[in-house]
Amino acid sequence: MADNNPSTGSIVHCDALIIGAGFSGISMLYRLRKLGLNTKIFESGSGFGGVWYWNRYPGARVDSEWPYYQLNIPEVYRDWKFSERFPGHEEIRAYFDHADKVLDLRKDVEFNAHVVDTQWKDGKWTVKTDQGQVAQSKYLILCSGLLHRRHVPDFPGLDKFQGVIHHTGFYPDKLSVQGKRVALIGAGATAVQVTQELSKEADQLTIFMRRPSLCLPMGQRRIDDQEQRGWKAFYPTLFREGRKSGAGFPSIKGTCGVNDVSDEERERYWEELWGMGGFNFITANYLDIYVDKESNQKVYDFWAKKTRQRIKDPRKRDLMAPKEAPYYIGTKRAPLEQDYYECVDRDNVDIVNMNEEPLETFNEKGLLLKNGKQMDFDMVILATGFDSFSGSLTQMGLKNKDGVDIKDVWKDGIRTYLGMTFNGFPNAFMIYTPHAPTALSNGPTIIEMQCDFVVSMIEKLEESKAKSVEPTREAEDNWDDMIDKMNKPTLFPLTNSWWTGANIPGKKVQMLTHIGGIDNYELQCRDTLDGFKGFDVVY
């Protein structure tokens, strides 16, 4: 039990401490309460939401469709309504506020508690924050997020720029760009959403990019109250089937290869998937699009045909939807867009291909390119992404039982067992993680699957009076090797992205995604509970 409020300087004693109060943290708290464990959360923000607490940039919205982007908690979804197929950031934060009220989450959460030191000693974890809060617990659950630690590239001269600079991961509310000249650095999923908003407000928007994103049509629409009421009765079935699927969405599946059907049948099927919107064009496509280069090329050709006809400017058309694929489609994040290509085509929007016109340096007025061209701006927006998978973990002073920081443990590459545990860190679990189907899945679905597994393991440990559990080094080696072998026959290793850690200079480029789907991944994880396969348990 807690001695007192942690902000007073006393130590909080609990059975389990969770780091982070987004989807993962709330899901774990809900389950551990039901298990009867005294559980607390340290959250660095001042409110719930995790990445959605911080993501307030223009156009920020989820790309997992209703009703799947929510927790499978009847008490919460019973009286909650989303207004769109793909909700925006304001509505998602309102959802978290609703969950807080319904579940009384706040009583077990310490906000503005940024963790700076985490150590295992005498059979428990001691966690300290930059505000002086201290907690001790038997179990440590790391719910600090997949895309949390903002990445700002080491651009020369950036500190000399006299205008306004914002990273999309820390964007001020209601910032106007009316009448401004804006530089947008990046062309990934975040930049796509920003472009759709700022292109309609800024006097001039210039996109600096190296590779275009191969966006898919979102198919956004409003959802009225009658439709929501009608579907509520089917939620348990929909969530159950989502859990049994590969990506978290129960959907149709391709049953053959691209070349196993006639051109007419293939074209008809692709038109059908395209019209569905969302990720259907990727998740329900033919079986061989991720293993056969020719098949993937045909998928890209269809994508390019559909996209190029929306861009009138020939230069922009060739940059954003080139006839030759910039990478294998589907092996890099495919953002969902509403009118992105029409926005790019506007007269007040320009594109700088940084492969042809690289940056020399930032200066007081803007950017100087290596070809001598000076470009002046009032504002620079960095849509430069995150130190994904590991960034949030390597910044909290997390040390193993020998006192070695995780950033040094992982200096030669990320290592895990089951994507949820790591050798040398007893009673520590990660949620929404590397070496799991995370990047290819609906967030809440993979989160709840992992949470259920961790709770099952803790329950089994408590029943057997175990003191601690951690995976063996050999189990880590075997899991990492399995991830590599799973990816090797596919096209995924041929494309560098944040999925592989390639967006961070100096970070090891490695396959970090389990591509077998949530359904198969859960079976693998559950199998280890019988006899704690791959784990050392201390009784």
The DSSP symbol for 10 reads P
Q: How far apart are CA 93 and CA 95, in angstroms?
A: 5
CA distance to 60, 393, 509, per residue, from 449 (Å) = 26, 21, 27
- Residue-level pLDDT at 387: 57
DSSP alpha helix (H) spans, 434-502? 443-463, 473-487
Q: How far apart are CA 446 and CA 442, in angstroms?
A: 7
The DSSP symbol for 70 reads S
Q: How far apart are CA 278 and CA 249, in angstroms?
A: 11
Q: How far apart are CA 272 and CA 254, in angstroms?
A: 12
Residue 431's closest CA among 413, 414, 418? Answer: 418
- Residue 240: alpha-carbon gap to chain centroid: 22
- Residue-level pLDDT at 3: 41
Tokens linked to 255: 């049953």
Tokens linked to 460: 């089994």
Are 357 and 369 in contact by the 8 Å Cβ rule? The answer is yes
CB-count exposure of residue 344 (10 Å: 0-12, 13-18, 19+): buried
Residue 164's closest CA among 191, 145, 183? Answer: 183
Q: How far apart are CA 338 and CA 217, in angstroms?
A: 6
Q: Strands, DSSP E only, in 37-189?
A: 39-42, 109-110, 115-121, 124-129, 134-142, 164-167, 181-185
Q: How far apart are CA 190 and CA 182, in angstroms?
A: 15
CA distance to 47, 142, 432, per residue, from 146 (Å) = 18, 11, 6
- By DSSP bridging, strand 359-362 and strand 366-369 are antiparallel
**Kind and range of the H or E element at 127?**
strand 124-129
- Residue-level pLDDT at 35: 96
Q: Which domains does the chain have, with CATH numbers?
A: 6-149+387-530 (3.50.50.60), 158-225+246-382 (3.50.50.60)
Which residue reads 């508690």 in tokens? 113
Tokens linked to 290: 């991720």
Q: How far apart are CA 67 and CA 70, in angstroms?
A: 7
Measured in residues, the chain has a length of 539
Q: How far apart are CA 429 and CA 420, in angstroms?
A: 5
Question: From first to last of its 539 residues, what are the pLDDT tens digits of the chain?
Answer: 344 344 445 899 999 999 999 999 999 999 999 999 999 999 999 999 998 998 899 999 999 999 999 999 999 999 999 999 999 999 999 999 999 999 999 999 999 999 999 999 999 999 999 999 999 999 999 998 765 666 777 888 999 999 999 998 888 888 999 999 999 999 999 999 999 999 999 999 999 999 999 999 999 999 999 999 999 999 999 999 999 999 999 888 888 999 999 999 999 999 999 999 999 999 999 999 999 999 999 999 999 999 999 999 999 999 999 999 999 999 988 999 999 999 999 999 999 999 999 999 999 999 999 999 999 999 999 998 765 556 578 888 999 999 999 999 998 888 999 999 999 999 999 999 889 998 889 999 999 999 999 999 999 999 999 999 999 999 999 999 999 999 999 999 988 765 565 555 665 667 889 999 999 999 999 999 999 999 999 99
Which residue reads 């974890």 in tokens? 125
Q: Between vectors from CA 95 to CA 90 and to CA 98, what angle results, nearest 5°?
A: 130
Diameter over CA atoms, the chain = 71
Amino acid in position 118: T
Dihedral, 321, 324, 328, 333 alpha carbons, nearest 10: -20
Q: How far apart are CA 469 and CA 172, in angstroms?
A: 43
The residues, any chain, with a CB within 8 Å of residue 69's CB and separated by 6 or more, are 62, 87, 92, 442, 443, 444
